[in-house]
Structure 1
Amino acid sequence: MNMIRATGLIPTRKKWKGMQLSAPVSSYKIQFNDITIFIVEKKMGMSRRTFLMDLARRKGFRVENELSDSVTHIVTENNSCTEILKWLQAQKVEDSARFRILDISWLTACLEAGRPVDSEKYRLVSKMDSVESNSPYPPELPVLGTDSVSQYACQRRTTLNNYNKKFTDAFEVLAENYEFREDEGHCLAFRRAASVLKFLPFAVVRVSDVEGLPWMGEQVKGIMEDIIEDGESPRVNAVLNSENYRSIKLFTSVFGVGLKTSEKWYRMGFRTLEEVKCDKNLKLTRMQRAGLLHYEDLVSCVSKAEADAASLIVKESVQRFSPSALVTLTGGFRRGKKAGHDVDFLITVPGSSQEDELLHLVIDFWKKQGLVLYYDLIESTFEKKKLPSKKVDGLDNFQKCFLILKLPKGKVDFGNSVISVASAEEGKKDWKAIRVDLVVSPFDQYAFALLGWSGSRQFERDLRRYATHEKKMMLDNHALYDKTKKLFLKAASEEEIFAHLGLDYIEPWERNA
């Protein structure tokens, strides 16, 4: 769609005046005989309709001037399915079910691809149809129930099926840019909007679809309108083309480099990692040196197979020193993701208070095995009588280790298991550097730690905000405190924490907010 508009094939509506009528249908060669399209003029206008008909015909599509029995696909713009069904009724059409009623975005997607694309997610559905068929693409939000869409991500079941990626990707670029500029308010506004759109079980095809939903402010709607009409947002493009944004994003992608360091490097005139590496006067931390040394491996995604292989290594190693220890894969992989930037593990030992030594033993063992490329072990700073953190993004105080693990490729015997990861390409190294975080939790805090380390970030932020504002409680990765009763609430599982908060339990794979 961007390409089509960029080349001037679809001008804006102000440019439609005085256009010529469509050329005769017979002058075009039809390539796709299984589809016959009729474009509805209602709310579109004759000139725009004429242009689209011409363009579709030039691309090989059969487009009828009049509604007829041969039509299979009805394309409309800014009309709901209910409106089109009423219009068909006025046209004395008895069997409207034989048509696929589609939003204009389907046609523009076809024109961009140069062939018919799957129409299912562009299909408009009436209120009755969406209820009866349980369609994942209801076009009218009253069916979803805008009043029932909570402002809190912890009350929304959000899977990895994101039907609005073109919007959420744009919002996440803007949120990241505001985060770089330390503008927390605007950053949070776009993250919240993206979170709501990820929850929606249908593709938004017009701005009115999000009317009444939480966190859909005028700025958000304006950017959505640009993307709907033009396929892109000038505001997002300006960020993506900004030298400052690109440089800060590049520098912060290095393990050990935070926002302050990135801004410092940018002010020093650095724009590439090569410039950073070549400056002999630049003092780097041990973590930053490791991050730059293994950058190519670390910036590539960790696959699920690699995460599973790391899981075997971690479990075998931990249980070598503490057979009763529990090792749980957390983070995005626990939520069902197939790839991530690192692998997080939560470790606890039921009935034991000897957790403090465990990470030291494991790291020493790995160093002897040649598996540790870098590590930073931080001791616990937890105070048992301390109240939970008031910050929704507050860090926890568990003992933890941030490390770069040397993950072997191919089949490797490790302890009682055989690890199999993608084979190394001939002539290349037979291992990959991956980021691994190990967190050790006392067993009585395990449920809180598991909930906090599973994410997503927005889900956890809203869960803590919900506890504070709706329940007068304080929640963090260590505990849940009832401010009204002035006591800590115990929980042996995530389900019990949700129950204390009066929330329906949400599975990890439904927390992708």
Structure 2
Amino acid sequence: MLGRYFQPNRCNAPRLRPVVRPYSTITSKHNQKIVDLLLKYKAEEEQKPDANSFKVYSFARAIHAVMNLNHPIRSGTDVVALPGIGLKITNRINEHLFDQYAQETTSEAKGAARSRFSGSKPVLILAPDSKVYQELLRNRALVVLGSVPGIGPTTAKKLVDAGCHSIKDLKSPEFSSMLTSKQAMNLKYMGHFEQPINRQDAEDVMAFCRAGLGPEFEITLVGDYRRGIEMFQEIHVMVSHPDFVHVPLPSDPPHIPAKSKTIIKKKSGRRRKDEEVRTNLLHTDILPLLQQRGLISETLSCGFTSWQGVIRLPGPEAGWGSRIHRISAVENNDGEYRKMSVHLVPQKSLGSALLFLTGDNEFHKDLSTRAQKLGMLFNQHGLWSWNPSQTESSPPNAEPRSSVETTNDGYWSLAKSTSEEEIFQELGMDFVDPTKRNFAFVSGKRRGKRTSSSYH
């Protein structure tokens, strides 16, 4: 019956409205109330000024899936595996069934049912069908626990079997000890990561970093912010310093066509010792200073030139408060928390790093393809030319991470890469404004969230 519905093209999705017949013509032999519920949610979304066409499409798919069922839905278990019905819609259906079933019990039973999910001691519920009611309770708990990022169906089932039925239960030592470190961190910041970051938040963070690091550090907001996107999920910051000049050489020779019989043999180069890896400015200055000033809350990953973690949003400068106040707030998990990445880039790679960190990934691929056709290589460290030679040599201020032997020996040399304009010129391109580099929207590739730079 919903066969007339068409999936919107992602390039112009916000302008489209799905085609669905009026309520009166959409009927279900076994689950009319649930169909009506989903139709109501769909209509409410359509009527919003900023209606999300993908949400509308999700409700329409769910309606179609429910209508095709030849048996009544008694709990979320009956719909969770249906195509087109995700976790959020399953939760809405289960909540509807829970409330509907609770209405059939006495008011005391309904209150007892509610209290179970607020941490109170469970009590005996006198219901017409206790088996169904308990299944509703169980499914509700599975959905609630599954809403924590990183907790999948298997972990949620183990927790429910152990007696955990709510987020409050999950935060107790008895059940939090069953979580991995990543799951525990997601629980700690639940409700924070789901909230988008606006441009003002990012600008406040940049101002805070500049005040804390000093004028010798050049700090630039990149990623979604530089592409002009209004709301995003992570702040990306590019940092440079006159003293950081190390430019790693590419580890691979130029692209060799498949028909070539050239044998490539890689040799693992000298690995840096652990103490050497920790001697750049990212580890000795940038991260310690930002942590001491009460910005950094957690570290998710940390490499030689990049860091990703959780920060406490400082807000406008007038509300920063004292350093002691900010550190205390982080220790007590007060305030708003978001994800941030910091990337330390060498002076000679400023242009390529700015291009790479601004994104998006589809734009990276386009630049890499253009460079490859010219016999060059583009990465976050620069635009490179291959120089065939019998004797390998290295450009100034560059250290190879590995050596490569081919039948045609040679070495990489760094082309002009200190500005984006230089790189575009080398590739024979006109300058592309950062706000026009959202190639993933043009390509129509499916993404769960806005594409950011992949340089971590």
TM-score by length of 1: 0.43
Between the two structures, name the one with larger relative contact order (CA 8 Å, sep ≥ 6): 2
